[in-house]
Amino acid sequence: LSVLVFMMFQYSKLSGVHVAQVHAASHHGSLYNRSFIESFEETPMLVAVLTYMGYGILTIFGYLRDFLRHWKIERCHIAREKEEQKDFVPLYQDFENFYTRNLYMRIRDNWNRPICSVPGAKVDLMERSSRDYNWTFEYTGRVVHDVINLGSYNYLGFAENTGPCADSAAEVTIKYGVGVASTRQEIGNLDRHEEMEKLVAKFLGVESAMAFGMGFATNSMNIPALAGKGCLILSDELNHASLVLGARLSGSTIRVFKHNNMQSLEKLLREAIVHGQPRTHRPWKKILIVVEGIYSMEGSVVRLPEVIALKKRYRAYLYLDEAHSIGALGSRGRGVVDYFGLDPCDVDVMMGTFTKSFGAAGGYIAGKRELIEYLRSHSHSAVYATSMSPPVVEQIITSMKCIMGEDGLKRVRQLAENTVYFRKRLREMGFIIYGNMDSPVVPMMLYMPAKIGAFGREMLKRNIGVVVVGFPATPIIESRARFCISAAHTKDMLDRALSVISEVGDLLQLKYSRHRIQPSLARPFDNNVYEDIDD
Amino acid sequence: MNFKNFTEYLAWLYYQYLLITGIYVLEPWEKSIFNSILFSAIAMVIYTSYVFVPIHLCLTLQLSVMMQNYL
């Protein structure tokens, strides 16, 4: 029951001040069998003030442009109602899109870039130019070749157009065609679907699994089938939009706990069990804890051993969304359950997507046989959605067999090496990086609104493609660039990318880190360890 | 970062100013408006300080001498 905190004191060369570098690796004795190192460095005060100032100036100019547009001094490019409808109830609420019109449009050339080759480790982009400041784009006709791709969710490198996966998908297309023209329930249940579901169940180590055509729809259409009125959903602060939508559609009470904070979760559980439903105080029909394996905006990994211990103690159910972590974490690539060395039977509903690590599309839900049989008839997605296309199914089958074999283990190891190397080098350079040491999603903080656009453009000038994210996907001052490491990246590509990132970081002054890593124990912590209690 | 000459260094400083204030994303005419407003404000501050600061300092010294004589 001991907590190990490593303190390393390091003299900062720049300020000559004695700065403490705290690495918090929490070891809860029997629960964790590996070190869990996460860090979220605090925003420097000066940077926060300057960011607010920048947003303030842009807001003033936004008001100016809206004024000019309203008084017709300037041509208006956005949607407007017709003249005859001016007196009706307004259809387009002007203010809601204030941010979109006045900031997003100005730096829009960093998103929706059309690519014209397979999005592997390198990708080809169509070059675009804009004459009216990003309201419309034209193609120059040129193609930018061999852009190093740090934005695709291609963790194990299966996004390729040659190799065994592509060949088998081509064969299946010749045999079955591309469209299925029915739902799973009616006449769209191919033998390939059955084989794929058996394979997914074997891969995860559970009894049975079921696949759906779209990852977002898997979450939003299946949570309503699992929870309803009179149930309680405890969801993490930073859950994905699909989980939030599914929870809202279900009609259950939703309570939110602080991100990855087990004290907050336990407090909510105890409160729920003691007080029951809001007005009647009857016990809840069921309590469902909804968490994700890797949170893609923060790069943090869920504290799964503690969640499972809590769920057993308080008799709740666990829904684990492994969209980014399946295939990317764990010594055998089996996801966050494998990463912590836990038993897959402890997680009641395992959900994941095939989009990220398998190079296909769609999602799955896996668990006990009774659960999957129930979902087959009660889930909206199963009953109404078209079934998955045969080449996609074949890609999933081939890539999964590959991961379970020798070649796949090589990829998993390459990804782990790449991740550790990339994160270590970026941290040494002095950037602020969020998240767990082992997560292949690397968010690098940019903070200021102008640097979002500048970073994207400067990286593309030097032939590196990155994804930058701002409000509303992140809090307003914490805009970031998100790198997704792939097993397909060679060390040369990573070295080239790192040197370019360092160059652009110096040009834009992005190296904010003062090596004062906020320990992940900064939240209120008491020495209770959530161990299994077998009643 | 190596700068070949002083002009390049000044250009980089101007680029940092554009990035930090957020002006970088605006169209050229908006940049000119902001720059002219900021420049005129700074010019007014400098002119006012040039005209008034010596007189303020003199008066402060006289006042402190008077206070000392009074006490």
Query: What residues in A contact B24, CB-CB < 8 Å?
Result: 450, 453-454
Residue contact A448–B22, C-beta within 8 A: yes
On the question of pLDDT at A413 being above 70, the answer is: yes
Closest CA of chain B from A50, distance in Å: 7
pLDDT band for position A532 (50/70/90)?
very low
pLDDT confidence of residue A11: 30
pLDDT confidence of residue A22: 31
Share of chain A above pLDDT 70, in %: 90
Query: CB-CB: which of B1, B15, B22 is closest to A54?
Result: B22
pLDDT confidence of residue A521: 46
Mean pLDDT of A64-85: 82
Strands A138-149 and A122-129: antiparallel
Q: Which of A397, A405, A399 is nearest to A197 (CA)?
A: A397
Interface test with B, best of A47, A49, A57, A135 (most B CBs within 10 A): A57
CA atoms within 13 A on the CB side of A445: 25
On the question of pLDDT at A5 being above 70, the answer is: no
The average confidence (pLDDT) of chain A is: 87
- The whole-angstrom separation of Cα A15 and Cα B37 is 35
pLDDT confidence of residue A29: 59
Neighbour-count burial of A44, counting CB atoms closer than 10 A to its CB (0-12 exposed, 13-18 middle, 19+ buried): middle
pLDDT band for position A97 (50/70/90)?
confident
Low-confidence winner among A194-198, A266-270, A444-448, A473-477 (lowest mean pLDDT): A473-477
Q: What is the pLDDT of residues A231-252, one digit of tens each?
A: 999 999 999 999 999 999 999 9
Query: What residues in A contact B16, CB-CB < 8 Å?
Result: 509
* CB proximity B29 to A under 8 Å: no
On the question of pLDDT at A526 being above 70, the answer is: no
Q: What is the pLDDT of residues A22-62, one digit of tens each?
A: 334 454 557 788 888 888 888 999 999 999 999 999 999 99
- Please state, as a whole number, how many other Cβ atoms lie within 10 Å of the Cβ of residue A224: 19
Q: Which of A322, A292, A327, A321 is nearest to A159 (CA)?
A: A327
Closest CA of chain A from B23, distance in Å: 7
Decide: pTM greater than 0.90.
no
Closest CA of chain B from A490, distance in Å: 27
- The whole-angstrom separation of Cα B7 and Cα A534 is 73
pLDDT confidence of residue A396: 95
Asked if the bond preceding A472 is cis, omega within 30° of 0, the reply is yes
pLDDT confidence of residue A530: 53
A495-507 burial: b if 16+ Cβ within 10 Å, else e? ebbbebbbebbeb
The residue that leads in pLDDT, A395 or A32, is A395
Query: What residues in B contact A451, CB-CB < 8 Å?
Result: 19
The residue that leads in pLDDT, A195 or A75, is A195
Query: What residues in B contact A508, CB-CB < 8 Å?
Result: 19
pLDDT confidence of residue A409: 92
Reported ipTM: the value is 0.87
pLDDT confidence of residue A41: 87
- Please state, as a whole number, how many other Cβ atoms lie within 10 Å of the Cβ of residue A157: 19
Q: How many residues does chain B have?
A: 71
On the question of pLDDT at A20 being above 70, the answer is: no
Provide Rg for chain A, Cα atoms: 25
On the question of pLDDT at B42 being above 70, the answer is: yes
Closest CA of chain B from A408, distance in Å: 42
Residue A211 sits at φ, ψ, to 5 deg, of -110, 150
On the question of pLDDT at A518 being above 50, the answer is: no
Query: What residues in A contact B19, CB-CB < 8 Å?
Result: 448, 450-451, 454, 508-509
Residue contact A450–B34, C-beta within 8 A: no
State the SS3 of A83-149.
HHHCCCCCCCCCHHHHHHHHHHHHHHHHCCCCECCCCCCEEEEEEEECCCCCCCCEEEEEEEEEEEE
Q: What is the pLDDT of residues A159-169, one digit of tens each?
A: 989 999 999 99
- The whole-angstrom separation of Cα A21 and Cα A26 is 16
Which amino acid is residue A404, in one-letter code? M
Q: What residue has token string 């049989």?
A: A373
* CB proximity A62 to B under 8 Å: no
Mean pLDDT of A506-522: 72
Share of chain A above pLDDT 90, in %: 73
pLDDT band for position A83 (50/70/90)?
confident
Low-confidence winner among A56-60, A85-89, A183-187, A482-486 (lowest mean pLDDT): A85-89
- The whole-angstrom separation of Cα A361 and Cα A213 is 7
Nearest 5°: CA angle at A187, between A185 and A192? Answer: 90
- The whole-angstrom separation of Cα A62 and Cα A81 is 21
Mean pLDDT of A489-500: 95
Give the chain A residue nearest B21 (alpha carbons).
A54
- The whole-angstrom separation of Cα A279 and Cα A375 is 31
On the question of pLDDT at A533 being above 50, the answer is: no
pLDDT band for position A7 (50/70/90)?
very low
- Run of H or E residues at A169: helix A164-176
Query: CB-CB: which of B16, B20, B24 is closest to A453?
Result: B24
Mean pLDDT of A141-155: 93
Closest CA of chain A from B25, distance in Å: 6
Residue contact B34–A57, C-beta within 8 A: yes
